[in-house]
Amino acid sequence: MTAAPVLPRTFFAREVMTVARDLLGRHLEHDGVVVRLTEVEAYAGPDDPASHAYRGITPRNAVMFGPAGHLYVYFSYGMHWCANVVCGPDGAASAVLLRAGEVVEGLAVARSRRTTARGDAELARGPARLTAALGIGREHDGADLCRDGASITLTPGHPVPDLAVAHGPRVGVGAAADREWRLWVTGDPTVSAYRPGGRRRGGSAP
DNA sequence: CCATTGATCGTCT
DNA sequence: GACGATCAATGGT
């Protein structure tokens, strides 16, 4: 498909917010579908209460503690997969959650993987929808995006100017709500809806 | 358009 | 045993 160059590992081995900002507008490709990233969220390592790395290394989050440029894929709410790109120096355990994008190639394939989508803007609008549209799942946890011949690749795409980048608190996150580490392309219809963090519903019936 | 709720299970306490 | 970095369906304004 696209013959665009893959991003070098040095791109990912920088401070997590810097990488998150630079990921906007870039293209993520896998198995016949290309998505232009429109929304991302930064998560730091053990010092970030909202991060999966907050309580140290476990079997699930082990990839976060490894080298930058690998995919950290986790299982969410018993039915969805979400994908992060590991960032920063090795061991920093920081990562960027890929929250949403616009399908720019492979529309027919993406539609077949997302039959409940109401329109094309909804195909990859949300972290689990994005992985579904691209066909990314558990087998891609730890995938190296920088290796030559990688099945999942991040390519330059089209840069987004500073004026078009908005930021705010992370979606569905209660802890560290003051860190406005969610970045998105202003006004883009493929950006997901905001939902505040905190716990839903309280009581078990007596 | 907005708010609420069930689905469903790996992970960590 | 409780809790999610979520989604889709439902019912109301």
Torsion angle of the four alpha carbons A16, A21, A25, A28, in this order, in degrees rounded to the nearest 10: 10
Mark out the alpha helices in chain A (DSSP H runs).
Answer: 9-12, 16-23, 107-113, 127-134
Compute the distance between CA of residue A135 and CA of residue A35 in angstroms, rounded to an integer.
Answer: 12
Q: Is the pLDDT of residue A105 over 90?
A: yes
Cα A157 to Cα A164: distance, rounded to the nearest angstrom: 16
- Secondary structure letter of residue A97 according to DSSP: E
**Looking at the predicted structure, is the pLDDT value of residue A1 above 60?**
no
If pLDDT is split at 50, 70 and 90, which confidence band does A170 have? Answer: very high
* Strands in A53-113 per DSSP E: 71-76, 80-87, 94-105
From A54-63, A105-114, A139-148, A193-202, the region with the lowest mean pLDDT? A193-202
For chain A, what is the mean pLDDT? 94
**Which pLDDT band holds residue A198 (cuts at 50, 70, 90)?**
confident
Q: Of A45, A163, A31, A24, nearest to A102 (Cα)?
A: A24
E strand or H helix that includes residue A206: none
Q: What is the average per-residue pLDDT within A45-71? A: 97
pLDDT at position A95, please? Answer: 98
Q: Which positions of strand B lie within 7 Å of protein CB atoms? A: 5, 7-13
Better pLDDT: A174 or A134: A134
* pLDDT for A204: 43
Q: What is the mean pLDDT of residues A177-204?
A: 85
Residue A2 pLDDT level (bands cut at 50, 70, 90): low
Long-range contacts made by residues A203-206, C-beta under 8 angstroms, separation at least 24? none
Res A4: pLDDT: 84
Position A92 pLDDT exceeds 70: yes
pLDDT of residue A174: 87
Instruction: Write out residues whose CB is closer than 7 A to strand C.
Output: A 41, 43, 50-53, 76-80, 82, 84, 95, 97, 114, 116-117, 122, 126-130, 170-174, 192, 195, 199, 204
Cα–Cα distance for residue pair A34/A109, rounded to 1 Å: 10
Note the pLDDT tens digit of each residue in A8-18. Answer: 999 999 999 99
Nucleotides on strand C lying under 7 Å from protein C-beta = 2-9
Are A185 and A24 a contacting pair, CB within 8 Å?
yes
Q: Is-contact A114 A33, C-beta < 8 A?
A: no
Distances (CA, A) of A83 to A34, A61, A129, A161, A205: 15, 12, 11, 25, 36
pLDDT value of residue A41: 98
CA–CA gap between residue A204 and residue A35 (Å, rounded): 42
Hey, is A28 helix, strand or coil? Answer: strand
